[in-house]
Amino acid sequence: MIQMKKKLSKINIKQKKSYAIGLTKKQLITCIILLISGVFIVMGIVIPVAQGNLHFLVVISSSMDPTIRSGDVIVVRSIRPEDVHVNDVITYKHILENRVRYITHRVINITKERVEGKEKSIIFFQTKGDANENPDSYKVSEENLIGKLIFLIPLIGYLINFIHQTIGLLIFIYIPGTIIIFIEIKKIIKIVKKP
């Protein structure tokens, strides 16, 4: 009987081995990994987005096929004009028919030109879509540069565009929201009716 108690106490000691905060070694390692991942997400995505240095854009044309396809989401990081090189893929503002459009094309040439009324020379980028035969008919001023492509997420843009439509809002937001509210109301009524 005494021998049995000793075995049980040894088993319990092994099973209950934990650290100061009451976690097992596996749980502690998992928490540390999640904490480090969270720090990287905040530093790498949340802070740059909040500062306006990181932009997520949905591609709506096929001018950059096959590199970037319609429906992809591109992630663009703000960059100094001096740090742009030939062959980089950049996103810039282009005003066409009184509308600002964001265009993402490849840089094929960079020039520095004096502009009347400006003290220093301005950098201009000649761009071209990978799927286009000819370069764009205009030069992009450094003032219109948004940033440089850092990576893309294939096809997610279709889902994002769908959610922004009335039917998408209905399917992904309003109906699930209504169901959740209905379930919670039923729970509250059930709790209130309990004696």
Q: Amino acid letter at 101?
A: R
Q: What is the mean pLDDT of residues 155-183?
A: 89
- Does a cis peptide bond (omega within 30 degrees of 0) precede residue 66? yes
Q: Where are the alpha helices (DSSP H) in 42-99?
A: 47-51
Helix (H) or strand (E) holding 83: none
Is residue 92 in some structural domain? Answer: yes
Q: What is the pLDDT of residue 176?
A: 92
Q: Which of 23-32, 132-141, 167-176 has the lowest mean pLDDT?
A: 23-32
Nearest residue to 104 via CA among 65, 137, 155, 158: 65
141 compared with 191, residue with greater pLDDT? 141
151 and 66 in a common domain: yes
87 and 12 in a common domain: no
58 and 47 in a common domain: no
Q: What is the pLDDT of residue 21?
A: 58
> What single-letter DSSP state applies at residue 64?
T
150 and 64 in a common domain: yes
Q: Amino acid letter at 70?
A: S
72 and 42 in a common domain: no
Residue 177's domain comprises: 165-193
Q: What is the rounded distance in angstroms from the CA atom of residue 103 to the CA atom of residue 62?
A: 11
72 and 114 in a common domain: yes
pLDDT tier at 97 (50, 70, 90 boundaries)?
Answer: confident
For the question of whether the overall pTM of this predicted structure is more than 0.75, the answer is no
Is residue 160 in some structural domain? Answer: no
Question: Which regions of 41-88 does DSSP assign to beta strands (E)?
Answer: 54-58, 73-77
35 and 15 in a common domain: yes
Sign of the dihedral through C-alpha 164, 166, 172, 176:
positive
Q: What is the pLDDT of residue 68?
A: 95
Q: Where are the alpha helices (DSSP H) in 42-87?
A: 47-51
pLDDT digits 0-9 by tens, 48-87 = 666 668 888 999 999 999 999 999 999 999 999 999 999 9
pLDDT digits 0-9 by tens, 118-147 = 888 999 999 999 999 999 999 999 999 999
